[in-house]
A = this chain, B = another copy of it.
């Protein structure tokens, strides 16, 4: 269960507070996503979040900005198709950092098989208000096909909430990335726990065949 931050959707609450509650609720990976902030503020925020996550065992990824990731020695980056090309990001970050890649079409799912990315994020599974510059949603059917085509760990993002995360896992996803269903929840910890229970139940079903 992968949390992608969105301060604008966090009901004015402190970023670290929301993230730590989500981690207590079962989030296992965090991506700091900031699109409107200047570089210095992004670095300062990343440092604070890294400090907050220290000791939790939950890795922190930075959206898009390899410079910010390097500056704070984050655990990696998540890049989209308009961000730094994967090969360059890998060269700058080295072999040990996590690099995740958004795939927005079935062609991109297949192209990503040529790259040593650590995971792919099928984006979006469903249209949302969180991210509006997206292509046609994959839907469950597209997610299922993407899962069958990729050689990488794969998660779904976009419209992932208590109604959808179970089916996304049932489609073959290894995980789900959640934004508003956690950061906009009145109680991010409880929301995370509920989502985690659904996800774990589906993963158990898959394991048991």
Contact = CB atoms under 8 A, between A and B. Distances in A.
Interface of A: 38-41, 43, 64-68, 70-71, 81-85, 88, 92
The interface residues of chain A, by DSSP majority, are classed as helix
A82 to B, nearest CB: 4
Contacts of A88: 43, 71
Given A67-B70, A70-B67, A43 B92 contact: no
A7 B41 CA distance: 26
Contact of A92 (B38, B64, B71, B85): B71
Given A66-B67, A67-B67, A71-B84, 15 more contacts: A38-B83, A39-B83, A40-B81, A40-B82, A40-B83, A40-B84, A40-B85, A41-B82, A43-B84, A43-B85, A66-B70, A66-B71, A67-B68, A67-B70, A70-B92
B39 A64 contact: yes
A67 B85 contact: no
